[in-house]
Structure 1
Amino acid sequence: MYNELPASALPEIEEALQHDPELATACADLLLAQRTLEGLRCEPRPAVSARILEYSRTFPAGS
């Protein structure tokens, strides 16, 4: 999924995926999940950041 295997292992993996439908389904599900997660936003909404900053201002400086 992350291209972390050596190229020499790919034929064996491909063969296993072709001959094991359960493994192929699991692999497809993982690849779909990976693509979905990569598309997610990885930062808070501006309103959330503003609330955190507003809350932090209620504490005395240097605390």
Structure 2
Amino acid sequence: MYNELPAKENHSVEQALLHDADLAARCADLLEAQRYLDALQPGPSDRAVQNILQYSRTFLRAE
């Protein structure tokens, strides 16, 4: 999935994927999930940040 195997082990996995349709289908599902996860926004939305800032301002006014 992340190309982290040594070449010999990578070749073994590739051979297993070629000969096991169920394994290949599960691998394809994992690769699709990986693409979706990689596309996720890594931080809070602008709206969430604004809500937090607005909430924190209520403490500044209370003093």
TM-score, length basis structure 1: 0.81
Runs of 5+ in structure 1 lacking a partner? Answer: none
Q: Give how far 1:39 is off.
A: 1.2
Structure 2 Cα separation of the partners of residues 13 and 50 of structure 1: 47
Structure 2 Cα separation of the partners of residues 14 and 45 of structure 1: 39
1:50 aligned residue: 50
Structure 2 Cα separation of the partners of residues 34 and 51 of structure 1: 30
TM-score, length basis structure 2: 0.81
The sequence identity of aligned pairs, in percent, is: 53
**Number of matched residues?**
60
2:41 aligned residue: 41
